[in-house]
Structure 1
Amino acid sequence: MTKLTKVIIPMFTVFMSSFSSFAAQLSIPDSFEFLAADGTTIKSGLFSRTSSIPLTNGMHNIALRYNELIVDDFSDSHKFVKSAPFIISIFIDGDDLFQLKSDSDLISNDPERYAQKPKIVISRNDGETQYKITQIQVKESGFLSQVVHGSTHQNFRDFIAQKTRLSSPNESSIVHSTKASTSKHIVTTDSETVQAKKMLEYWWQQADKKTKEAFLEWASSTTEQE
């Protein structure tokens, strides 16, 4: 797996950052996952996640969840620990940088307990900010099998997206695309590489022989083209 990991990981650690003229930006650690914002789903894959989103001035409803890959204490294999989705309602009125972080030591000491009731705090570059958190009591089932077979979990994400719709169509909305003239920089940090490696190892442990062979064939053809 070592050689394969070195070749494949860069392919799945692409975290795009947009540097166009949006009013603000919300960033999250790799242990959390964006699901939707203002009625629009935010795509997320097994090997890559959106680490920040741009926000225009106005009200925003953003759905997230805690989603961490950990080592099982009993089997030494990897498994996902997820919380139920929750929505953050926040008003943007400037070009601030917002950062979401865990507000509990349980995220490190006992991830499974933390997932039952995740506590977060959002700060901005010039001080505190006000926001509202709404819990959504719904779970996504069959995650691994859907990932292996290429499903995007659209029903689950569409349901969450509906929960984030703003009450008025005139209210501010999130923008997911940038102009072609805007330059983009792909940056991979050490923590993102480690997370991608953990996810790749987890998927490899769970995949059947046929899936592994297909994956190796694809990886080989991809590297030959570069």
Structure 2
Amino acid sequence: MEYNTDRTQLHMPEYGRIIQQLVERCKTLETKEERTEMSHGIVDLMGQRNPSLRDEDNYKHKLWDHIYILANHDLDVDSPYPFPTEDELKSKPKQMEYPQLQGDFKFYGKSILQLIEKAIELEEGDEKEALIEVIANNMKKSYNIYNKEHVTDDVIFRHLKELSENRLDLTTIEALEKSKIYYSSTSNSTNTNKRNRYQKSNNNNPRNYQNKNRRK
């Protein structure tokens, strides 16, 4: 009986023992033409055994890379793609570069920078003013959520000036009504009205009156 411990190591277990045995058999063929022909057949079989690769770009290229790995980097065939070296396979992927916000303003997010650039490109007019209102509103919301504290309008204007590299200076803004920019005053009044309506409904509810009498 043959045990797995006595067999050659599976270089890519997802393909199974049969595929690797075929690759090892391919390496023993005498002529390069025979090895190349058999390699094409193995690659087709590998594609059937691993159909998820078909949804990826250049999946054929990946299959040829895999057959080279299964051959332990020792396969003399005419491949349609260059085989990767061992160093290339062992090398780690390069670290992705993430966009960095200026200073300590990362909590505003990349979308704010994109909106600022868009506002700078627009000509003076209602459309630009409306976009600035959106930017300021979202900046204040993001600031309050991240820092969990109230922020004044002047702070938002200063941050907007720094983020836009002095291209949007709203510290002396007069054309826009600040009350339209921020949501805090309207939301507070809305919450107050809701509380008043709730208290009024509770006072007019006969059950509440009876419950108060029972407590007495």
Greater strand content: 1
In the superposition, the TM-score normalised over structure 1's length comes to 0.18
Greater helix content: 2
Greater length-normalized contact order (CA 8 Å, ≥ 6 residues apart): 1
Structure whose CA Rg is larger: 2
